[in-house]
Amino acid sequence: MQKSTIKTVLGYIKRYNLLVVLSLFFAAATVALTLYVPILTGQGVDCIVGQGKIDFDTLGSIILKIIIIVLITSLLQWLMNICNNRITYGVVRDIRNEAFEKIEKMPLSYIDTHQHGDIVSRVIADVDQFADGLLMGFTQAFTGVITIAGTLLFMFSINFKITVLVVCVTPLSLVVANFIAKRTYKLFRRQSEIKGEQTGIINEMIGNQKVVKAYSKEEDVLEKFDEINDRLAKISLKAIFYSSTTNPSTRFVNSMVYAVVGIVGAIFAIGGNITVGGLSSFLSYANQYTKPFNEISSVITELQNALACASRIFDLIYEKSEEPDSEDAVSEINVDGVVKLEDVCFSYVPDKKLIENFSLNVEKGQKIAIVGPTGCGKTTLINLLMRFYDVNSGSISISGYDIAGLKRETLRNAYGMVLQETWLKAGTIKENLMMGKKDATMEEIIEAAKASHAHSFIKRMENGYDTCIGEDGGSLSQGQKQLLCIARVMLTKPPMLILDEATSSIDTRTEIKIQEAFNTLMMGRTSFIVAHRLSTVREADVILVMKDGNIIEQGNHEELMDKNGFYANLYNSQFAV
């Protein structure tokens, strides 16, 4: 899992090859200059070894060189950090763009079966955590590798035997770090998953706080959140505990290396095989050689967490997309309103059948009402007509074209849709109304608002049509939000209509007026009306009575009442005194 994640991350980094090269150059220059300082320090030590043998001229020159090198090194390190920041946040931007683009391309089945909060957590929190780890990784990896290589070269140039000793002992720290890292990755992966679960419940509860309070479920919600929070605390402590042992373990090994070098070096110096200044330089190099191992191990927690978060976001990005439109898909059709369903079968879950062998012929301009008990397949039928879901078998056609052979955009532009669940974005009322028709004039917008009886309450607002509303309508009432959604559809004047409980949130008096406006809008247009209140479907040309995914009765209101069957029972139950 880690290998594939790292490979994917490297694929994103390749897009910034120029910055990577620059960063490597600055890292190499920084390390080279940093490693040159111990040589100068060793020369300086040799200048003051021995009583009365201090060479002040040479020492002053060496100190001046060290100061200049330190200043240049600081500048190069700053430039390297700029490159690393640009690479990191460029990669993060690309990942977020691809993740959001993937969400837009995903089939509704994925969105319907996954916690929305978890999806949000992947795109926001997981990517942020990944960015922190990636930035640390760049800083440590680039300078660390070059430092290790550079110090080895300098140490070999000073004393070959002691260097071989250092090289033989140091890999122990890598073995320790790798052993612990393999065991912490799964813990951090689980930690990210629980964070997503936690975000999901927070998102769910904030969005439905009125319902929670109405049913006095605050304590139950708190208990559930506490349970998730406890699990997160336990897994986080466990992950951090195991990963935190990496740094002291590697530091112990590296301290042993430094001690061995000091002892062996002192013996060599006594034997005259190395000068005191040379030993001072060598000890400095030995310290710098082990430093990258310590630094990498100190951020192992962040790196493991970053990889776990990256894995989750890549799971989302590489999730199967909605089946794309075929290359020969029809993009333009003349919609006449004729709709045919032939032997349609569909189920959300393979072993739980919903719609079976469903057939229907709808003529041009007909008003088709779909009624029946909850769960009978009314809204599912709408999902199939709009191709939010594809049929398992059978076919659906409009104007003689199988919808599977149409571009989805073409199909959906043929319908105007008003759902029971309203959706408004943060922005002005005008922007919300123009979603379906970006080139609409102000006169057209006002005309649609008047037709939907939304104009009067819009004009009473502080800035009229330029009034800004918050996410999902902000402080607007449910009825006002529904009126805006109706006005939005009326503005587009689509060839066909789908009204799924479109007036469920509106008072009876306004509903009568809206029905009149809809009747005007539906003239000559094929319309599908899903309703629970049967009083709203009396004027329909055909009423389809559904039960368990099948049409059990069909006809107009009078015909179905005369049959005294399932529809008549439903209707009478709503108006029983």
On the question of pLDDT at 237 being above 70, the answer is: yes
Weakest mean pLDDT among 341-345, 512-516, 542-546: 512-516
The CATH architecture of the domain made up of 424-493 is 3-Layer(aba) Sandwich (3.40)
d(CA 489, CA 100): 26
Residue identified by tokens 């290790």 is 148
Residue 361: both structure tokens together: 């012929």
Distance of alpha carbon 196 from alpha carbon 200, whole angstroms: 6
The one-character DSSP state at 423 is -
Question: How confident is the model at residue 49, as a pLDDT?
Answer: 62
Q: How confident is the model at residue 297 (pLDDT cuts 50, 70, 90)?
A: low
Backbone angles phi and psi of 559, in degrees to 5:
-60, -40
In this structure, the chain runs to a length of 577
Q: What is the mean pLDDT of residues 494-513?
A: 75
- Cβ contact 309:191 at 8 Å: no
Closest CA to 335 of 384, 390, 403: 403
Q: Is the pLDDT of residue 244 over 90?
A: no
Does 191 have pLDDT greater than 80?
yes
Q: Tell me if 379 sits within 8 A of 500, measured CB to CB.
A: yes
pLDDT given for residue 454 in this prediction: 86
Summarize pLDDT for 128-164 with one digit per residue, the tens.
888 877 777 766 766 777 777 777 777 777 777 777 7
90 neighbors 20 (Cβ within 8 angstroms): no
Please say whether the beta carbons of 227 and 274 come within 8 A.
no
Which helix (DSSP H) or strand (DSSP E) does residue 469 occupy? strand 468-469
DSSP structure string for 160-227? HHHHHHHHHHTHHHHHHHHHHHHHHHHHHHHHHHHHHHHHHHHHHHHHTHHHHHHTT-HHHHHHHHHH
How do beta strands 550-555 and 542-547 pair? antiparallel
Query: Average of pLDDT values for 354-368?
Result: 84
pLDDT confidence band for 415 (50 / 70 / 90): confident
pLDDT value of residue 157: 75
pLDDT in tens, 316-335: 888 888 888 888 888 888 88
Please state whether beta strands 496-500 and 526-530 pair in parallel, antiparallel, or not at all (unpaired): parallel
Fill in the amino acid letter for 328: D
The pLDDT assigned to 72 comes to 92
**pLDDT tens profile 69-86:** 889 989 998 998 898 888
What mean pLDDT do residues 177-201 have?
A: 77
Distance CA(405)–CA(391), nearest Å, equals 13
Confidence (pLDDT) at 63: 84
Q: How far apart are the first and last CA of the chain?
A: 65
Q: What tokens were used for 508?
A: 């009876």
DSSP annotation of 501 reads S
- Domain layout of the chain by residue ranges: 2-317, 424-493
The CA distance from 227 to 229, in Å, is: 5
Round the average pLDDT of the chain to a whole number and report it: 80
**If you average pLDDT over residues 495-507, what whole number do you get?**
76
Mean per-residue pLDDT for 330-349?
86
Please state the rounded mean pLDDT for residues 509-538. Answer: 74
pLDDT confidence tier of residue 53, bands split at 50, 70 and 90: low
Residues 519-542 have a mean pLDDT of 77
Q: What would the mean pLDDT of 110-120 be, rounded to a whole number?
A: 80
How large is the average pLDDT for residues 17-44? 83
Q: What number is the average pLDDT over the span 360-382?
A: 82
Residue 538 has pLDDT above 80, yes or no: no
What is the assigned CATH class of domain 2-317? mainly alpha
Residue 99 has pLDDT above 80, yes or no: yes
Exposed / middle / buried, residue 557 (Cβ in 10 Å: 0-12, 13-18, 19+): middle
For residues 7 and 571, what is the distance between their CA atoms, to the nearest angstrom?
A: 62
pLDDT, residue 577, reads 42
Q: Is residue 405's pLDDT more than 70?
A: yes
Q: What is the pLDDT of residue 71?
A: 92
Strand, coil or helix: 369? strand
Q: Residue 532 above 80 pLDDT?
A: no
Q: Which of 134-138, 173-177, 191-195, 513-517 has the highest mean pLDDT?
A: 191-195
Q: Residue 301 CA to chain centroid, in angstroms?
A: 23
State yes or no: pLDDT of 494 exceeds 60: yes
Q: Hey, do 2-317 and 424-493 end up sharing a CATH topology, with the first three levels equal? A: no
Split at pLDDT 50, 70, 90, the class of 504 is low
More confident residue, 51 or 534: 534
Contact status, residue 526 vs residue 338, Cβ threshold 8 Å:
yes
Query: What number is the average pLDDT over the span 199-227?
Result: 78
State the pLDDT at residue 358: 81
Residue 51: is its pLDDT beyond 70?
Answer: no
